Amino acid sequence: MLVLLLFYSADIGNPIYFDTGAGNECQIIDICSIGSIIGNDVRKALPALHVFTGCERVCVFVCKGKKPPFQRITENCQFVSVLQQVSLVGDMLSIIQLYDDLECFVCHMYGSCTGNDARQFLTAVPESHWKRPAELFHTSWLVH
């Protein structure tokens, strides 16, 4: 929910508050403040980053979590641009055309520079755990 609120926050034009937590851990988050801190470009890349890295309970990047992918995109405008394109396209063919750029993002997550390095990492992972490009994105989650 937070990702979608951030994505649309600039378009809504009114203050948006998100009530989260339970019991003594409740907090109200000012969505517009977060949106202005991270900036419009990163905000528009968030839906694709969320889908690409997995949901709140399952992280696709083994031993990385959700924070490092977010930090990587904030440090590299190329990754922001690629994820913006993924967030805004509505068809898988367009996403598959971005495969090399997404592969580069994954390589940077694991500290390698090339797709060959990433493929060597994948050889250590059973093929049944691999995700094909079409499986990386749940198109029903993409914002059109």
How do the residues of the chain divide into helix, strand and coil, expressed in percent and rounded to 5?
65, 5, 30
Give the model's pLDDT for residue 142.
42
- Rounded Cα distance between 117 and 108, Å, is 10
- Cβ atoms 2, 18 nearer than 8 A: yes
pLDDT tens for each residue of the chain, 144 residues long: 888 899 888 888 899 999 988 888 889 999 999 999 999 999 998 888 888 777 666 666 666 677 778 888 888 888 898 888 887 776 666 777 788 888 888 888 777 655 555 555 555 545 554 454 444 444 444 443
- Enter the pTM of the model: 0.66
pLDDT of amino acid 86: 82
d(CA 136, CA 59): 12
> Token pair 């851990």 is at which residue?
25
For the chain, what is the radius of gyration of the CA atoms? Answer: 16
pLDDT tens digits for range 25-45: 889 999 999 999 999 999 998
